[in-house]
Chains A and B, each alone.
Chain A
Amino acid sequence: MGIALRPWIAAILLAAGLASVPFLVKPYQLDIAIFLLINLLVVVSYRLVTITGEWSLAHVVMMGVGAYTSALLAKRAGLDFWLSMPLAALFTAAFAFVLSFPLFRMKSFYFLIGSFAAGEAIRLTWIRFYVPFGGPKGLTLIPPPQLSLPWLQDPINLGRPVNFYFLALIIVGLSLLILWRIERSRIGLTLQAIHWRDILAESVGVNTWRYRTLALVVASFFAAVSGALLGHYVGAVTPTRFGLHIMLYVLVWVIVGGTRTFYGPILGVVTLSIIDEFIREFEQYRPLIYGLILILTVRFLPQGLESLVLKALAGLRSRNSQVSQPVAGE
């Protein structure tokens, strides 16, 4: 019984720790924490695409599709955040489904370039068409989420940083839980199989095209959720927020963390965000430091930070059982 309780205790401690963040940090750090939560969802959903073996360069644009859709629904149709966010995510998922038809006719390098072309074309559409996308300046004055409770006279403004932190924590937490369940399900196992041996998977009757599409659609859905969160928190969306350089940052987070485990990308984005905080005064050197970290990781730690964790875990396990086990990742 004691063993069965342990994960629960860990989960409660983690939740308590995360919930106390807004009361422990400086205001600007709370801002960073909110962006970190949003980025967590971006990288974990991105990993769902990468485990099928294809590296998309359109993921951040999918995030943008969600942000723009939710903003337009809120501004033009006057919808509440609670409606505009899920509708935007569904729209983005449908959009990704349509895109999957041309994209999945390509593989490896061609997929990479094709996804880049699709994403860039979408982004240029936002820049070119002032109605309804607002051109290069994008959309502003996106209403913050409100929460009306029956026993309160005025709705709670969730746009305030402390409130928004909890909103993001709950939405991102739930999303990660769903993504984790998908990973552990039959679908997740099949996706891994497609990554390692797609021809073999096909020959035993797996419709690889269908699973790849499913991964892309689900990943885009959650990218859109993170995009909607971003748009409603900042109050504005612009085309530059979803440009190639942002996509490259996502790539750095994911690669530095590693893509073999669920927590790899999380490790990457958290570590680099902490580094960001240390180099805050040298903001203009950030790309340089990211570039160096990326190069050193690929050169000397090709499986990312997660491989260190895997090794440490394997070391612990073998010490506990006094039996040497093969080190994971070798």
Chain B
Amino acid sequence: MFELILQTSVNALVASSFTALVAVGLVLIFGVMGIVNFAHGELYMAGAFAVWHLHSVLAWPFLLSLAVAILIVAAIGAVMERLLFRPMRSNPLGGLIMSVGTLFILQVVALEFGGGTGRAKHVTPPWRGVVEVFGIDGVTVPIQRLAVIGISVVLLGGLWLFLHRTKAGWALRACAQDPEAAALQGISIDRFSLLAMVLGAGLAGAAGAAMSPLLPVEPSMGHAVIVTAFIVIIVGGIGSIEGAVLASVIYTFFDTFVTTFVDGTIASILGLLIMMLVLVIKPTGLMGVQEKV
């Protein structure tokens, strides 16, 4: 029993690290542009497809495939911002609808890219073998999963340093806090919206790319992720990056434990009910800020 609990905790840690990548990207985009990016799950899916093509089909090294996949998805994000979100600057609902359109398009593109059949792809795991955790026999974690944690920590740490230690990061946070005031300080909203979208999409792509050897890669794989990400950003407080990370850890631990000890669908239902509860009782979430009147 003790081993099972430890093992589940390790699994939860893996899940929370990639969930955090997706959710932080979603929060970043919402913070700066006020747009709920419904296509965020599809960006995650695009990252996984890119790795599948580069690593499994073209036989590039995994880490190089990962890096290029992140760049590709970030580029998709840049195109979305430039062509779709920028004309909708004053209309958040319009931006949301644009992202729904993108979601449809990306799913078909992925389907075609994968050969036209809906059959799931498999990415050959670059690392095999397991590591024993705490030196206990029953508790092991595959190196592939450890890599997901590593990639997430590096990327989120890098993002934190960027946001808090550089001038551009400081300006990006200013845009998220109050776009109008930021614009009055001479910060270009256009440039920082583009930056937010590139970073947000890149993070989603990174999550998909890192998880691709662990999951069947298919056009619909974004759905489960976007639902989880919505729960996380609501519980964490929309617009708060720290809240999104904290909520990712709390929620995925809850979800993984309920999935292991009860069942997965019940876990999802409870997660959605918790989200409803947060929306009713404290819409600002764990660490969100009060909306301005």
Residue B116 lies at the interface, judged by CB distance under 8 Å to chain A: yes
The verdict on A167 contacting chain B, using a C-beta distance below 8 Å, is: no
Q: Which residue in B36, B223, B273 is a CB contact (below 8 Å) of A109?
A: B36
CB-nearest residue of chain A to B230: A113
Contacts of B283 in A (CB 8 A): 106, 110
Chain A residues contacting B104 (CB-CB under 8 Å) are 248, 287-288, 290-291, 294
Q: If the complex has contacts A106-B280, A298-B94, are A248 and B234 also in contact, measured as CB distance less than 8 A?
A: no
A116 touches B107 (CB 8 A): no
Q: Which of A102, A120, A248 contacts B100 (CB 8 A)?
A: A248
> Is A128 in contact with B269, judged by CB distance below 8 angstroms?
yes
The distance from the CB of B22 to the nearest CB of chain A, in whole angstroms, is 16
**Taking the complex as formed, is A121 at the interface, i.e. its CB lies under 8 A from any CB of chain B?**
yes
Closest to B263 in A: A128
**Does A322 count as interface, using CB distance less than 8 angstroms?**
no
- Which residue from chain B places its CB closest to the CB of A129 in the assembled complex? B265
Q: In terms of DSSP, what is the predominant structure of the interface of chain A?
A: helix
CB 8 Å contact bits of A104-144 with B (1 = contact, 0 = none):
01100110111011101100110110000000000000000
User: Known: A124-B265, A128-B265, A284-B116. Is A295-B276 also a contact (CB below 8 A)?
Assistant: no
For B273, list chain A residues within 8 Å (CB). 117, 121
Cα–Cα, bound, A225→B101 (Å): 29
Residues of the B chain whose Cβ atoms lie less than 8 Å from the Cβ of A284: 108, 111, 116
Is the C-beta of B215 less than 8 angstroms from some C-beta in chain A? Answer: no
Q: Mark B108-128, 1 if CB is under 8 A from A, else 0.
A: 110100001000000000000
Given A113-B234, A120-B227, A295 and B101 contact (CB-CB distance below 8 Å): yes
Check B105–A302 contact: CB distance below 8 A.
Answer: no
**Complex contact B101–A127 (CB within 8 A):** no
Least Cβ–Cβ distance between A281 and chain B, in angstroms: 14
CB pair B97 A298 closer than 8 Å: yes
Known interface pairs A102-B280, A284-B111, A294-B97; A117-B230 also in contact (CB < 8 Å):
yes
The answer to whether B230 and A116 touch across the interface, beta carbons within 8 angstroms, is yes
Most buried by B among A112, A125, A295: A295
From B11-19, B85-93, B188-196, the one touching the partner chain is B85-93
Residues of B contacting A285 with CB < 8 Å?
Answer: 108
Task: For the complex formed, measure the closest distance between the CB of B263 and the CB atoms of chain A, giving whole angstroms.
Answer: 8
How far, in whole Å, are A55 and B97 apart by their CA atoms in the complex?
11
Partner of B101, one of A102, A110, A114, A294: A294
New A-B contacts (8) at CB < 8 Å, excluding given A110-B283, A112-B36, A113-B275: A109-B36, A118-B276, A251-B100, A287-B108, A292-B101, A294-B104, A298-B94, A298-B98
Which residues on A are within 8 Å of B, measured CB to CB?
55, 102, 105-106, 109-110, 112-114, 116-118, 120-121, 124-125, 127-128, 244, 248, 251-252, 255, 284-285, 287-288, 290-292, 294-295, 298-299, 302
A-B contact pairs, 19 of them (CB 8 A): A102-B276, A102-B280, A109-B238, A113-B234, A117-B231, A117-B279, A118-B276, A124-B265, A128-B265, A248-B104, A251-B100, A284-B116, A287-B108, A288-B108, A290-B104, A291-B100, A291-B105, A292-B105, A294-B101
